Amino acid sequence: MRAATRPGGDQDGKHQLAVLASFRPTWRQAIVSGLWAGVVGTIVLAASALTGPTLLAVLVGGTWQLRAPPQSIVVAVLAPVPLGLIYGLAVRRRIGARLDELGVRSVPLGLDGFAPWRLVVDIRAERRHGRTLVAVYLHSGATLRLRAPYDGVLGRDPRFERKLFLICHVWETHRDWRVPACTPEPRAGDATDDGD
C-alpha cells in the first residue's frame, strides 16, 4: 500500500491526478502465486514426461523398464518452479488497484477496470475462489472486483482489513451523495460470505 505522494497540479499544461493510495499483492502473495504456477507446470511436465514414452511402449507392445531419467529431463521438468517464482514477482508490479480523485482503477486497466466515485454505491469484502477480495458495486448493477488487496489461504495479507477500511474511507470522502446508497442484492452465481 502506498499513500499519495504527489499533489495534483499543472505540469507542462496537464493536470496531474493525485494518487490517494495504490495496492499491490504482498511479497508473500507474489512468491506463493509464482511458486504455485511453477509447481503446476512441473506436475504437467512430469506427468507428460513419465506417461508419454511408457504409454507408447505399452501400447506398441514393447517392454517397459524403470530406469533413471536423464539429467536434461530432470532439469526441464523442474525448470517451471524458478520460472514461476520469477513470473510471480514480475506480475506483482503489474497488477493491483489505484485510488485517485476520480475513482478506483483496477490495474492493469481493462475495459471495465474503472469505477468513478460518483457511481459507486457500496464497497465490501467478497469471498471468491478461496480469496477474500474487495468488490466495488456500481449504480448500474455492475461489480468491479479489485485484484489487490486480497486475503486468501495461500496468500495471507495481515493488513487486508486496514486496506479495505482505507478504500471505504476514500469512497466516503469522494462519493456523490445524490446517488442512492442502496446495497445491491447479490446476483445468482455470486459467492458471498454470510458471516461465518
pLDDT of residue 71: 66
How many DSSP H helices and E strands does the chain contain?
A: 4, 10
3-class secondary-structure state, position 16 = strand
Q: Is the dihedral of CA 109, 111, 117, 123 positive or negative?
A: negative
How far, in Å, CA of 32 to CA of 142, rounded?
A: 30
How far, in Å, CA of 64 to CA of 52, rounded?
A: 12
How far, in Å, CA of 170 to CA of 115, rounded?
A: 13
How far, in Å, CA of 10 to CA of 101, rounded?
A: 15
pLDDT of residue 10: 47
pLDDT of residue 51: 65
pLDDT of residue 196: 42
pLDDT of residue 56: 46
The phi-psi region of residue 46 (left if phi > 0; otherwise alpha if psi is between -120 and 50; otherwise beta) is alpha
pLDDT of residue 49: 66
pLDDT of residue 162: 92
- Other CB atoms closer than 10 Å to residue 98's CB: what's the count? 22
- Other CB atoms closer than 10 Å to residue 150's CB: what's the count? 24
What pLDDT tens digit does each residue of the chain (196 aa) get?
554 445 444 455 556 778 888 888 888 888 888 888 888 888 887 777 666 555 445 545 555 555 555 666 667 777 888 888 888 888 888 888 888 888 888 887 665 788 888 888 989 999 988 889 899 998 888 888 888 888 888 788 889 999 999 999 988 888 777 665 555 555 555 555 544 4
Q: Which residue has the cell 511479497?
A: 27
pLDDT of residue 195: 45
Q: Which residue has the cell 499533489?
A: 7
11-40 pLDDT per residue, tens:
555 567 788 888 888 888 888 888 888 888
